[in-house]
Structures are given as C-alpha cells and as structure tokens.
C-alpha cells in the first residue's frame, strides 16, 4: 500500500546549520507530496507542497524537490533558526482531496 518513510530522528542542530530531512515514498501512481510542520501543542501547518515530478516546493527558506526517479522529497534549509524547532512530517496524497498518508515525523531541535 501507500507509504512514506522519513529519516529517523531526533535531529539536533546548532543555529545557522544546514538541514536535510530525508523522505521517500512508495512509487504507485502520481501522488502529490507535502511537508507539514507541528509546533509543540499545536495542529499541523502546511510548510510546502509539490504536485508533479521535478516541481520544487518552497516556503520560509525551506525547499523540497519532487524526485520521481528516486521516489524522494527531501526537506532542506540552508540556515536553521531556533524558531524552526518542531516536528516535521512528510506526506503523500494519491489524488487531489483524498487521504493523506504521513511518515512517522522527525523531531528537529535547533540550539542557539
């Protein structure tokens, strides 16, 4: 079935470090791909998305490129801030509006 695999956490970085969180998905169909972020005690916020191969989603300095050949959608940021500390979820969606399938989440902690 559909699945999403994220790199195991937690990830701890110093401020201004480079961030990569790996995400791979099952290759059935042509899913849309998403990164959501969850701050402590809150619901999920959409960070970025890509709906077809080679699309790059970007927001707030975060980027991810839809790579069909490697079935990946890795999240990157060039210089993280303390305020980026949160849990990040990669997700796929088979067709528009249908269910989201999430990865297990990656806890990011950024120290000053």
Partner 1 sequence: DAGVTQSPTHLIKTRGQQVTLRCSPKSGHDTVSWYQQALGQGPQFIFQYYEEEERQRGNFPDRFSGHQFPNYSSELNVNALLLGDSALYLCASILRGGSNYETQYFGPGTRLLVL
103 binds partner 1 (CB under 8 A): yes
8 A C-beta contact, residue 19 and residue 75: yes
Closest to partner 1 by CB, 11 vs 17, is 11
If one asks whether residue 8 binds partner 1 (CB under 8 A), the answer comes out as no
Total residues contacting partner 1 by CB under 8 A comes to 24
20 binds partner 1 (CB under 8 A): no
Do residues 11 and 107 touch, judged by C-beta distance below 8 A?
Answer: yes
Contacting residues for 16 by C-beta, under 8 A, at least 6 apart: 79, 80, 81
* Residues numbered 61-90 forming contacts with partner 1, rule: CB under 8 A: 89
């Amino acid at each position: 079935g559909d699945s999403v695999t994220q790199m195991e956490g937690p990830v701890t970085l110093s401020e201004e470090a480079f961030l990569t969180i790996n995400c791979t998905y099952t290759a059935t169909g042509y899913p849309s791909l998403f990164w959501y972020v969850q701050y402590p005690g809150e619901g999920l916020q959409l960070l970025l998305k890509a709906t077809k191969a080679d699309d790059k989603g970007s927001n707030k300095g975060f980027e991810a490129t839809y790579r069909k050949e490697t079935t990946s959608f890795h999240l990157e940021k060039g210089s993280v801030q303390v305020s980026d500390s949160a849990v990040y979820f990669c997700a796929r969606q088979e067709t528009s509006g249908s269910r989201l399938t999430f990865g297990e989440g990656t806890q990011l902690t950024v120290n000053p």
